[in-house]
Amino acid sequence: MAIMLIQSFNRVWIVSSFYINQEYIAANLCVNRFEKAATCKGTCVLKERLKKEKESEQQAAKQKISDVYAFFQLKSSLQQKKIANPDRERKFPPFTSDLLPTGNPSSIFHPPVSVA
Contacts of residue 41, defined as CB under 8 A and 6 or more positions apart, other chains included, come to 22, 26, 30
Residue 15: how many other CB atoms lie within 10 Å: 13
Confidence label for 58 from pLDDT (cuts 50, 70 and 90)? confident
Confirm if 66 and 79 have CB atoms less than 8 A apart. Answer: no
Model confidence, pTM: 0.46
pLDDT for 48 beyond 80: yes
Which tens digits make up the pLDDT trace of 65-94? 665 555 556 666 655 555 555 556 667 777
Amino acid type, 68 = V
